[in-house]
Amino acid sequence: MIDSQKQKKLKIIPLGGCEEVGRNMTVFEYEKDIVILDMGIQFPEEDMPGINYVIPNIEYLKGKEKNIQAVIFSHGHMDHIGAASILLDRIGNPLIIARPFTIEMIKHRHEDYSKGSSKRLKTIYVRKLEEKIKLGPFTIGFFQVDHAIIDAVGITIQTPVATVIHPGDWMIEYKPVGRQKIRYNHLSKLPKPTILMLESLGSTNTKKPVTEKEMLGNLKRLIKNAPGRTIIATFSSQVQRVEQILEYASEINKKVVLDGFSMKMAVEIAKKLGYIKAKKETIIPINKINDYPDKKIIVLCTGAQGEEKAVLPRIVNGEHYFIKIQKNDTIIFSSSVIPGNERSIQRLKDKLYRLSDKIIHSDIMDVHTSGHSNVWDIQKSSKRLNQLTLFRFMLIIFS
């Protein structure tokens, strides 16, 4: 985008996440000043032995470190924050801006990477979405979005030549449970011209979206009628769903076991921030699982993508110390298939079918809502926002 009189340009430079899944990182540069959105990792392919993850190439930022006003993070998924513990140091540790849950996730990852390093972070916690932050020629605003993790936000970046609207990862929840439906109309009042940048992960998905109300109704029915234990594998950062299941478990007097390092960590952070208010007695430690009748037990765990060391594959492979699959267990995949993981998930399901009679996943019943906008959402949003410029080049953003 160019200011014709002064020839001043806003440059938008994706360093990752464009035409690929993962390692999302976008540079916004006006004159000399820079703000960055997200620093994510990409998970390795099967033909990358020895590689733990792939990070964005930051060559473009060499020599420009002092111009970086801040790094803003849209939400706490690894493909948006995972590279921060490596890259922030390399660009001179600039200010980081995000919602509380996202910053806490970044801090935790920093500590995991190098003990004590989170103390070096310069942070601004965005506690109210109405906050505006001035960074040189940029004015940063925030707006709520629905996504598969709490505290996900969209970002607006006002510059002297245009306003960028970037929802990050997002979808439209048509029937939210326990909260208001999000409206986006206010974005149409932003200074024009506006540039709308949308993720394209679900942009070819024409399936009618599953609503949270339908999904939760199905999960509750399955949990209530389960003849034995209910084992639900979901994404570790899916804290809102964990909270909803905890609430329902306490309502029908069942007990919940949480298993998986990343899931327990996300729930701990959410509890600390007051986002999870489950009754203390609803969650039981895993070593108490056999103190209750099977019917009373819900296991919430990681491993829905078939990741070798995560909880569900370990259970299925007979490597879990406390849990073995029993014939009357109900196993639910409350998750979607991350592109690239199709084979490992199929292998996991094949093994499971030999062990239990009740395996439920999204092809059988709506037990998951996608966190990514599909054709319906994208059409609605672009019509409503009445964009002067719709960024035709779609960013591939993934969670």
Whether the Cβ atoms of residue 134 and residue 128 lie closer than 8 Å to each other: no
Nearest approach, Cβ of residue 151 and Zn ion (Å) = 11
Task: Kindly tell me which of 230 and 399 has the beta carbon lying closer to Zn ion.
Answer: 399
* CA max distance for the chain: 75
Other Cβ atoms within 10 Å of 246 Cβ, number:
22
Task: Kindly tell me which of 29 and 169 has the beta carbon lying closer to Zn ion.
Answer: 169
- Our finding on whether 173 is near Zn ion (CB under 5 A) is no
Task: Kindly tell me which of 56 and 352 has the beta carbon lying closer to Zn ion.
Answer: 56
**Which residue in the block uniquely carries the two structure tokens 């690239």?**
340
**Which residue in the block uniquely carries the two structure tokens 């006006």?**
30
Nearest approach, Cβ of residue 220 and Zn ion (Å) = 25
Nearest approach, Cβ of residue 371 and Zn ion (Å) = 6
- Our finding on whether 237 is near Zn ion (CB under 5 A) is no
Task: Kindly tell me which of 169 and 329 has the beta carbon lying closer to Zn ion.
Answer: 169
- What is the rounded CA–CA span in Å between residue 155 and residue 317? 43
- What is the rounded CA–CA span in Å between residue 26 and residue 12? 7
Task: Kindly tell me which of 163 and 399 has the beta carbon lying closer to Zn ion.
Answer: 399
Ranges within 133-172 binding Zn ion (CB under 5 A): 169
**Which residue in the block uniquely carries the two structure tokens 């733990």?**
52
- Our finding on whether 399 is near Zn ion (CB under 5 A) is yes
Nearest approach, Cβ of residue 166 and Zn ion (Å) = 13
Contacts of 115 (CB under 8 A, 6+ apart): none
Task: Kindly tell me which of 381 and 399 has the beta carbon lying closer to Zn ion.
Answer: 399
Query: 3-state DSSP call for residue 370?
Result: coil
Nearest approach, Cβ of residue 74 and Zn ion (Å) = 8
Ranges within 315-344 binding Zn ion (CB under 5 A): none
The site string for Zn ion over 186-225 (x = CB under 5 A, - otherwise) reads ----------------------------------------
* Of 28-36, 105-113, 329-337, 391-399: span binding Zn ion (CB under 5 A): 391-399
- What is the rounded CA–CA span in Å between residue 232 and residue 218? 13
Nearest approach, Cβ of residue 75 and Zn ion (Å) = 6
Residue 72's nearest CA partner among 43, 109, 34 is 34
Ranges within 72-101 binding Zn ion (CB under 5 A): 77
Whether the Cβ atoms of residue 201 and residue 21 lie closer than 8 Å to each other: yes
Nearest approach, Cβ of residue 143 and Zn ion (Å) = 16
Query: Closest residue to Zn ion, Cβ-based?
Result: 399
- What is the rounded CA–CA span in Å between residue 60 and residue 38? 16
Whether the Cβ atoms of residue 125 and residue 98 lie closer than 8 Å to each other: yes
* H/E element, 140: strand 138-144
Chain residues in the site for Zn ion (CB under 5 A): 77, 169, 399
